[in-house]
Structure 1
Amino acid sequence: MSDTEIRRATADDIPALVKLLADDPLGAQRETPEDLAPYRAAFARIAADPHQHLVVAVRDGRTVGTLQLTLIPGLSRRGASRALIEAVRVDSEERGGGLGTRLVEWAVGTARDAGCRLVQLTSDATRIEAHRFYERLGFEASHLGFKFQL
């Protein structure tokens, strides 16, 4: 695993990122790898925001994982900042080898270094294996989440 580099994503990574996002039953329903225009526009917004950390894990020139970390300043918890981990994906051929753990540990360390007091994430209710993974890493299922589609 030491031969895997975690680095900020670049615009050149967009096709590989979208492929990772689409590489599961939920992503296959909502992602459109054949039309990269909306992803390029979103990437530009992410890259321009210093609170966003979109990273890729690269091994032997191949993108094998990704996640997005958002740093959120706040008033609650005595003015504490928090971090939100989203879109954790590991290439289907790489799952079970520790890369997901390494990505999440990178995110937690980055959040800690940025002064965050809390790291949170959400996971679709159907992703039971992902829930077990996050619990093994010390995350607690403490809240009930809600979404409103616009």
Structure 2
Amino acid sequence: MSGSQVTFRRALAADVPAIVDLLADDALGAAREKPGLPLDRRYADAFAAIDRDPNQLLAVVSDGNGIIGCLQISFIPGLSRLGLWRGQIESVRIAASHRGGGLGRRMFEWAIEQCRARGCGLVQLTSDKSRADALRFYDGLGFKASHEGLKLEL
């Protein structure tokens, strides 16, 4: 993947079906996403909310033939740590045909640079505990499991 030409850009509404396909392309996503056309209206509503929020960046990666990756960055202001801004990276997905070639590292380098450009002093993420490969990958990028994440489904 290191020599491949890929582009990173803000997602467009037309990209949402491809993003949903990526989100559904693993065991966890397959159980919670609804890919296919017509696309569930909730995806369009969520995209509209993300797109109009200046502290959200839904990004896609293209190789010229289509969308091969996606991620979302939430820029979070806070009072702790002297008003430190955080970049929260979520929904990272790479097309199965492009995994293992270095694209994930390139995506994170790009995402971290977006956080730096926005003045963030910390980048954080969550990952499902069952994603052992992803957790090893994040550790290799320098992320530390310094906190315990908790979720409450509503």
TMscore range, shorter length? over 0.9
What CA deviation, in whole Å up to 9, does each residue of 1:38-87 have, x standing for no partner? 11000000000000010000012310000000100100001111110000
8 Å contact kept, 1:83–1:120: yes
Q: TM-score, normalised by structure 1?
A: 0.97
Q: Distance in 1 between matches of 2:55 and 2:69?
A: 20
- 1:90 counterpart = 2:71: no
Which residues of 2 match residues 43-58 of structure 1 at below 5 A?
43-58=47-62
Does the residue aligned with 1:70 lie in a helix, a strand or coil?
Answer: strand
**Identical pairs, percent:** 53
Aligned residue pair count: 150
1:59 to 60, 63, 67: 63
Partner of 1:22: 24
CA deviations over 1:94-116 (Å, ceiling 9, x no partner): 00111111111111111011110
CA RMSD of aligned residues (A): 0.9
**Cα drift, residue 25 of structure 1:** 0.2
The normalised TM-score by structure 2 is: 0.95
Q: 2:112 aligns with which of 97, 108, 111?
A: 108
Is the contact made by 1:15 and 1:36 (CA closer than 8 Å) also made in structure 2? no
CA–CA distance in structure 2, aligned partners of residues 66 and 131 of structure 1: 18
Q: Which runs of 4+ in 1 moved over 2 A?
A: none
